[in-house]
Amino acid sequence: MSAFPNSTSPPSLTFFLTGVPGLETAHTWISIPFCCLYITALSGNGMILFVIITEPSLHEPMYYFLSMLSTTDLGLCISTLVTSLGIFWFNAREISFNACLAQMFFIHLFTIMESSVLLGMAFDRFVAISNPLRYATILTNSRIIQIGVAIVTIATVILIPLILLLRRLSFCHSHVLQHSYCFHPDVMKLSCSDTKINSAFGLTATILVGGVDSTLILLSYVLIIRCILNIASPEERKKAFSTCISHITAVAVFYIPLVSLSFVHRFGKQAPTYLPTLIANVYLLIPPVMNPIIYSVKTKEIRRALLKVLCPKAI
């Protein structure tokens, strides 16, 4: 028997997801831009993956990392698509505890993986600029596979305890979540059990992933800039730096919405109730939507491969 009256323990628990508070009557209209964003993200990342797989000239380390980025972006979209559009279209708000944990696992898995892939791409650019003659021997196919396996393994090892710790909790407060998907801090707040261990582990995981990855990415670019400044030719310096533009933009697209969401949750007490929810939904959609556009516009080889597939007569 639970130590808390009127408490509910897994797996009988059902949560209720939230669309956009205060704008329920406009959910059908709100779903239109969200649907367009999902279509753009799924088709864009699917196309990037397709051209990298089918175009032999793109079988290089830089594009292997880009294919990892597209895979994580597809995973993020698919993880939230059903519940988000289900709420907007059908007001389907109920989600079982186990389904919630599964969705939470995959959302956080692909978020951690995206951060790690961006770090891997920073390392790729550093090796390409600092040691171009040994680039192919340092980043071999087997080494890139090892990096990919390590990214998935680390993310899984971090998340499994996080999920298991949630299963021990009892829930006796409102079962209404604040987002249209299951988010670890959101679920944890509804518990009437002691969540100190959950909070400590969640904070540690955030620091280990976001803090370490962002610091190492910044350090990589300090070293990259130093290498670029040592290049004698202005033309070569410009060419070297131009290969980093797409990655710098992708890093900004990933971290700026994340920081914005944190600021809104911490300091936006007077903000409209729908603002944090909208930012939270957009935060998971901006990187998957923008990354294919960034790399299609900024990377000549990707652009040429896409044109070859979409407009073969134009090539």
CB 111 within 8 A of CB 184: no
Averaged pLDDT, 79-91: 93
pLDDT given at position 261: 73
- pLDDT tens, 14-37? 999 988 887 888 889 989 999 999
Determine phi and psi for 8, rounding to 5 degrees.
-125, 130
pLDDT given at position 1: 42
Task: Please determine, for residue 253, whether its predicted confidence score (pLDDT) is greater than 60.
Answer: yes
Alpha carbon distance 110, 199 (integer Å): 21
CA neighbor of 149 nearest in space, from 102, 113, 107, 125: 113
pLDDT given at position 315: 57
- Running DSSP on this structure, what letter comes out for residue 70? H
Averaged pLDDT, 105-134: 95
Amino acid identity, position 44: G
For 93-107, the DSSP string reads -EEEHHHHHHHHHHH
- pLDDT tens, 46-83? 999 999 999 999 999 999 999 999 999 999 999 999 99
pLDDT > 70: percent of the chain: 92
Among 209-213, 247-251, 305-309, name the most confident range.
247-251
Amino acid identity, position 179: H
Strand partners, 95: 15
Q: How many CA atoms lie within 13 A of 268 on its CB side?
A: 15
Confidence of residue 2 (pLDDT cuts 50, 70, 90): very low
Q: Comparing 12 with 299, which gets the higher pLDDT?
A: 299
pLDDT given at position 269: 63
Alpha carbon distance 233, 163 (integer Å): 53
Q: Token pair for residue 141?
A: 């196919």
Alpha carbon distance 39, 20 (integer Å): 20
Instruction: Return mean pLDDT, the chain.
Output: 88
Model's pTM, two decimal places?
0.92
User: Lowest-pLDDT range, 55-69, 151-165, 188-202, 211-225?
Assistant: 188-202
Which stretches of the chain are DSSP H helices? 27-54, 61-90, 97-130, 135-138, 141-167, 184-189, 196-206, 212-229, 234-242, 245-267, 274-298, 300-310
Alpha carbon distance 217, 36 (integer Å): 31
Task: Please determine, for residue 5, whether its predicted confidence score (pLDDT) is greater than 60.
Answer: no
Among 9-13, 135-139, 205-209, name the most confident range.
135-139
